[in-house]
């Protein structure tokens, strides 16, 4: 009897101590999540900045501090280069708990096939040189096992993603070559429609993917290259999801139900992403996340076109009229809360297992209040925790979902290792 009483007393004491334990604050929940699962960003455009600002010449470049980098020629209005800070460097990445990145190997969609292929190879090269120059902090990775190994070593797992199907110049041989040199995702289009896939921001020509475009998806699956559906049209999204045997990603996209930009992901597509096992990495670009800013940009474009039509001989008058309109109609400010709204919608629609982050830092995500650069991810996780997201939820958003998808793509590729390469005829 004495043992039973003492056992009951011990149980009551342990229960009361649990009840008395203070609830964790949002800051504590976020910190605990990021300690166990560092941030993995699906899309950062440092290679683009190196090309625009430095023409890929790295002499004198210090990736520990990019806040004093001179801007490219587009920003210069006099002989002295202006200082236009970048959003990414190793110091701020550490502050932001950023330990895995798909570095975007972006090249302009205006280039012809041969130019695009060359530029893509140059962008792969410059990012590899940055990684090699910082071996204590960065590690080039081509698979999930390497990502986890890099984390254990306290390094940034650095993967490469090609932004735009024009990067392969219409050649599956080039696609295979990109895989050989380390590229692990490819966005099927950028701003312009390719000869085999419709873009979300260009006139459609193919009603989605052409037969060759579907072969591109199949060959990416076979190789283990993630199919990235950011930038593509809704029909291209649906076609790719129908064809792909492996989970797809949206490396930097948002929910169309929150902001109606055609580049964002519709609920119909989100439902198919869930069935596919894929992931949508929410983007921080103000024009995509803020419905007010999306509408304002459209209105501004209309005013600009009208003034140019009214004053074709007086560009100064047209510019003054546009400036007056902007003064009377201030641009809406996009905020961290807008990002949370997109995450909330995707969670409610298809669940926490399909959400990641794809900031687009150094590629356009400028002016977002609350998320200025790569030091700021913790602020987003605190806000999500404040809204009731659990530590396990936050770990999935931070990097767990990306890790799962990459592993699934690798399993698919391993199962199809013996399949013959898909061939397409050379054109010259």
pLDDT tens digit string along 294-335? 888 899 999 999 999 999 999 999 999 999 999 999 999 999
Q: What ranges do the domains of the chain cover?
A: 24-290+333-415, 299-332
- Of 68, 104, 280, 282, the closest CA to residue 187 belongs to 104
List, as one string, the DSSP characters of 273-337: HHHHT-EEEE---HHHH-HHHHHHHHHHHHHHHHHHHH-TT-HHHHHHHHHHHHHHSPPPPPBHH
Give me the active site residues, please: 43, 45, 163, 190, 231, 252, 360
Q: At residue 416, does pLDDT exceed 80?
A: yes
Length of the chain: 428
CA dist 254 and 296 (Å) reads: 18
- Of 280, 272, 277, the closest CA to residue 254 belongs to 280
Q: At residue 72, does pLDDT exceed 70?
A: no
Q: Rg (Cα) of the chain, in Å, rounded? A: 24
Q: Which residues contact residue 59 at a Cβ distance below 8 angstroms, ignoring those fewer than 6 apart?
A: none
- Of 326, 320, 284, 283, the closest CA to residue 301 belongs to 326
With both helix axes pointing from N to C terminus, report the angle between 267-276 and 336-350 in degrees, rounded to the nearest 10: 60
* Mean pLDDT computed over 13-20: 48
CA dist 391 and 314 (Å) reads: 59
Higher pLDDT, 77 or 135: 135
CATH of domain 24-290+333-415: 3.20.20.140
pTM over 0.75: yes
- Of 137, 191, 143, 136, the closest CA to residue 163 belongs to 191
Helices (H), ranges, 183-276: 211-223, 234-243, 267-276
List, as one string, the DSSP characters of 131-170: HHH-TTTEEE-SSHHHHHHHHHTT-EEEEEEEE-GGGGTT
21-54 pLDDT, tens digit per residue, is 678 999 999 999 999 999 999 999 999 999 999 9
* Mean pLDDT computed over 335-345: 97
121-180 pLDDT, tens digit per residue, is 999 999 999 999 999 999 999 999 999 999 999 999 999 999 999 999 999 999 999 999
Confirm if 394 and 137 have CB atoms less than 8 A apart: no
């Amino acid at each position: 009897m004495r043992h039973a009483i003492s056992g009951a007393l011990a149980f009551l004491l342990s229960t009361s101590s649990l009840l008395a334990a203070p609830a964790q604050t949002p800051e504590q929940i976020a910190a605990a999540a990021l300690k166990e699962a560092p941030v993995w960003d699906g899309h950062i455009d440092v290679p683009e900045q190196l090309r625009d600002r430095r023409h890929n010449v790295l002499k004198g470049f210090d990736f520990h501090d990019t806040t004093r980098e001179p801007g490219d020629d587009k920003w210069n209005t006099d002989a002295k280069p202006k200082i236009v800070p970048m959003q990414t460097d190793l110091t701020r990445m550490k502050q932001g708990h950023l330990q895995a990145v798909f570095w975007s190997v972006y090249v302009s969609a205006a280039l012809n096939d041969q130019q695009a292929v060359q530029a893509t190879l140059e962008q792969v090269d410059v990012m590899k040189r940055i990684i090699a120059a910082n071996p204590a902090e960065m590690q080039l990775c081509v698979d999930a096992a390497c990502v986890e190994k890099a984390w254990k070593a306290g390094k940034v797992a650095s993967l490469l993603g090609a932004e735009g199907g024009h990067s392969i110049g219409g050649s599956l041989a080039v696609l295979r070559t990109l895989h050989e040199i380390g590229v692990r995702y490819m966005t099927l289009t950028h701003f312009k429609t390719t000869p085999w896939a419709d873009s979300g921001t260009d006139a459609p020509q193919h009603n989605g993917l052409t037969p060759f475009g579907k072969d591109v998806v199949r060959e990416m699956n076979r190789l283990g290259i993630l199919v990235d559906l950011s930038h593509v049209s809704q029909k291209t999204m649906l076609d790719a999801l129908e064809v792909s045997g492996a989970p797809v990603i949206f490396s930097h996209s948002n929910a169309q139900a929150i902001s109606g930009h055609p580049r964002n992901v519709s609920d119909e597509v989100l439902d198919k992403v869930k069935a596919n096992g894929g992931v949508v990495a929410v983007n921080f670009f103000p024009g995509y996340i803020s419905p007010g800013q999306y509408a304002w940009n459209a209105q501004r474009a209309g005013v600009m076109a009208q003034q140019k039509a009214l004053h074709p001989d007086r560009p100064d008058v047209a510019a003054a009229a546009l400036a007056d309109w902007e003064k009377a109609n201030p641009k809406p400010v996009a905020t961290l809360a807008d990002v949370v709204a997109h995450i909330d919608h995707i969670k409610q629609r298809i669940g926490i297992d399909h959400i990641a982050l794809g900031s687009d830092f150094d590629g356009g995500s400028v002016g977002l209040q609350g998320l200025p650069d790569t030091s700021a991810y913790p602020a987003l996780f605190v806000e999500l925790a404040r809204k009731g997201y659990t530590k396990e939820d936050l770990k999935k958003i931070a990097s767990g979902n990306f890790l799962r998808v990459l592993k699934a793509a690798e399993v698919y590729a391993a199962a199809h290792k013996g399949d013959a390469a898909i061939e397409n005829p050379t054109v010259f």
